[in-house]
């Protein structure tokens, strides 16, 4: 039998079986729209069965009626059902549906923007403090080079840069191939085959090779740094280090960040060479430009400043990746779930700031006429 009800004068007669299956199609609004009195009486005299789901439905209905200034009176409940109602009423908590959920609320938008702005400023202040502490520790290392962890520095160069070379070489080769392949068809239509060298040489060395290399290192090393530091924080290694008088910046941060600052220009230089090699191969295959002719034109068309600009950005990319990754590692809380959260934040933040810095650098250089 289904859950049934019937309106009779100032009463609502409840009968049938009210359980989790039979009430699925019922809504409290079906009742609210038909009740106009200031008091509503539920008559349960003919109720056959009810479970907690059914009781919850009536409690929700009672909540909505009282909210509309309509008092509720229950009658006809037998002792078993009454005890069930009493038990559920003790633990019932109504979570109101937000009727205006889809409406445009300026107040909530401004509150949300305010909260986001404050959180951003707090993170920015912490990051500036972190960078300041990093440079102070770095200056102290320069004053006393024995404090610099050279073995750790070499270890991070190997893991962050040297072991990333296969994927960087492959990606750089693909960049050169794609650039040349896309340009070859367009240039051939105008008989300007030789200009493929200009296009590949400038775009690869100045922009694409450094940027793509930085993005790969950000995805690979930023997550690694954050996870490593996060685990050290959870296992209290950092706290133990500070307790014993060892500065965590000397042991943890400086070797990692310096490893990226030093190795990034070398990786970018290799990436430049491989991407140009990829372009040379496509130029030879599609446009019949020999390697010697390609190199001759490259020397004429691509100024040294284009390569230097690409290489000059690399240390800054390395610093951004290392600093942001280590900063997020120190933000990890004492849960394993927190490591995943901050690792993701670290990768997203480093990639965003690398791209943002590259865009800013390009605008400044363009405005300066370089």
d(CA 238, CA 247): 9
d(CA 89, CA 77): 15
Query: In Å, how far from its chain's centre is CA 121?
Result: 18
Q: What integer pLDDT is reported at residue 325 of this predicted model? A: 92
**What does the pLDDT look like over 70-87, one tens digit per residue?**
888 888 888 888 888 888
Q: What integer pLDDT is reported at residue 118 of this predicted model? A: 92
**What's the whole-number mean pLDDT along residues 153-168?**
90
**What does the pLDDT look like over 247-279, one tens digit per residue?**
888 888 999 999 999 999 999 999 999 999 998
Residues 213-224: b if buried by 16+ CB within 10 A, e if exposed: bbbbbbbbbbbb
Q: What integer pLDDT is reported at residue 3 of this predicted model? A: 79
Q: Which residue has the tokens 């609320």?
A: 105
Question: Left, alpha or beta for 9 (phi > 0: left; psi -120 to 50: alpha)?
Answer: left
Residues 269-288: b if buried by 16+ CB within 10 A, e if exposed: bbbbbbbbbbbbbbbeebbe
Q: Which residues pair with 74 in a beta bridge?
A: 42
- pLDDT category at 183 given cuts 50, 70, 90 is confident
The answer to whether the CB of 207 falls within 8 A of the CB of 309 is no
Side-by-side strand order, sheet with 3-8: 3-8, 11-18, 39-50, 71-75
Q: What integer pLDDT is reported at residue 101 of this predicted model? A: 54
DSSP character for 193? T
Q: Strands (DSSP E) along the chain, which ranges? A: 3-8, 11-18, 39-50, 71-75
Looking at the chain, the number of H-run helices and the number of E-run strands are: 15, 4
Q: What integer pLDDT is reported at residue 226 of this predicted model? A: 92
Q: What integer pLDDT is reported at residue 102 of this predicted model? A: 57
Tell me: pLDDT of 236 over 90. no
Sign of the dihedral through C-alpha 27, 35, 62, 43: negative
Q: What integer pLDDT is reported at residue 302 of this predicted model? A: 85
% of the chain beyond a pLDDT of 70? 96
Q: Which residue has the tokens 């919850």?
A: 56
The answer to whether the CB of 296 falls within 8 A of the CB of 190 is no
Q: What integer pLDDT is reported at residue 17 of this predicted model? A: 85
Question: Left, alpha or beta for 363 (phi > 0: left; psi -120 to 50: alpha)?
Answer: alpha
Q: Residue 130: name the closest of 365, 349, 282, 285 by CA.
A: 349
- pLDDT category at 300 given cuts 50, 70, 90 is confident
Q: DSSP string covering 108-168, please?
A: HHHHHHHHHHHHHHHHHHHHHHHHHHHHHHHHHHHHSGGGS-HHHHHHHHHHHTGGGHHHH
**What does the pLDDT look like over 304-355, one tens digit per residue?**
888 899 899 999 999 999 999 999 988 888 778 888 899 999 999 999 999 9
SS3 state of residue 72: strand
Q: Which residues pair with 42 in a beta bridge?
A: 12, 74
Computed over every residue of the chain, the mean pLDDT equals 86
Strand 11-18 relative to strand 39-50: parallel, antiparallel, unpaired?
parallel
**What does the pLDDT look like over 126-148, one tens digit per residue?**
999 999 999 998 898 888 888 88
Better pLDDT: 110 or 191 = 110
**What does the pLDDT look like over 33-73, one tens digit per residue?**
777 777 788 888 888 888 888 888 888 888 888 887 888 88
Q: What integer pLDDT is reported at residue 257 of this predicted model? A: 93
Tell me: pLDDT of 96 over 70. no
d(CA 76, CA 46): 8
Better pLDDT: 28 or 219 = 219
Q: What is each CA distance from 6 to 9, 30, 69, 81, 244, in whole angstroms?
A: 10, 12, 22, 20, 77
Better pLDDT: 125 or 147 = 125
Q: What integer pLDDT is reported at residue 103 of this predicted model? A: 61
Count CB-CB contacts under 10 A for residue 62: 20
Tell me: pLDDT of 98 over 80. no
């Amino acid at each position: 039998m289904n859950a049934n009800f019937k309106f009779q004068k100032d009463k609502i007669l409840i009968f049938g079986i009210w359980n989790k299956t039979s009430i699925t199609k019922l809504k409290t609004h079906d009742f609210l729209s038909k009740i106009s009195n200031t008091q509503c009486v539920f008559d349960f005299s003919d109720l056959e069965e009810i479970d907690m789901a059914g009781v919850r439905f009536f409690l929700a209905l009672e909540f909505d009626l009282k909210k509309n200034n309509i008092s509720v009176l229950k009658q006809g409940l037998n002792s078993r059902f009454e005890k069930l109602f009493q038990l559920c009423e003790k633990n019932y908590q109504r979570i109101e549906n937000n009727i205006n959920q889809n409406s445009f609320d300026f107040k909530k938008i401004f509150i949300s923007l305010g909260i986001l702005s404050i959180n951003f400023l707090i993170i920015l202040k912490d990051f500036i403090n972190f960078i300041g502490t990093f440079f102070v520790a770095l200056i102290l290392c320069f004053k006393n080079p024995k404090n610099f962890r050279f073995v750790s520095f070499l270890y991070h160069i190997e893991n962050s840069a040297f072991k990333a070379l296969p994927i960087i070489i492959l990606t750089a080769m693909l960049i050169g191939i794609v650039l040349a392949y896309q340009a070859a068809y367009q240039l051939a239509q105008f008989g300007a085959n030789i200009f493929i060298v200009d296009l590949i040489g400038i775009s690869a060395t100045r922009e694409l090779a450094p940027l793509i290399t930085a993005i790969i290192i950000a995805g690979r090393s930023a997550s690694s740094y954050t996870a490593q530091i996060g685990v050290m924080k959870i296992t209290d290694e950092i706290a133990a280090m500070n307790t014993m008088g060892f500065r965590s910046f000397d042991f943890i941060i400086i070797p990692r960040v310096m490893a990226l600052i030093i190795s990034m220009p070398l990786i970018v230089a290799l990436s430049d060479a491989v991407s140009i090699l990829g372009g040379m191969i496509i130029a030879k295959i599609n446009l019949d430009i020999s390697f010697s002719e390609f190199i001759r034109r490259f020397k004429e068309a691509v100024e040294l400043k284009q390569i230097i600009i690409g290489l000059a950005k690399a240390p800054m990319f390395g610093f951004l990746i290392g600093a942001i990754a280590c900063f997020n590692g120190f933000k990890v809380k004492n849960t394993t779930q927190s490591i995943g959260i901050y690792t993701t934040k670290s990768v997203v933040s480093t990639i965003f700031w690398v791209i943002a810095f590259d865009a800013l650098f390009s605008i400044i250089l363009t405005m300066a006429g370089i």
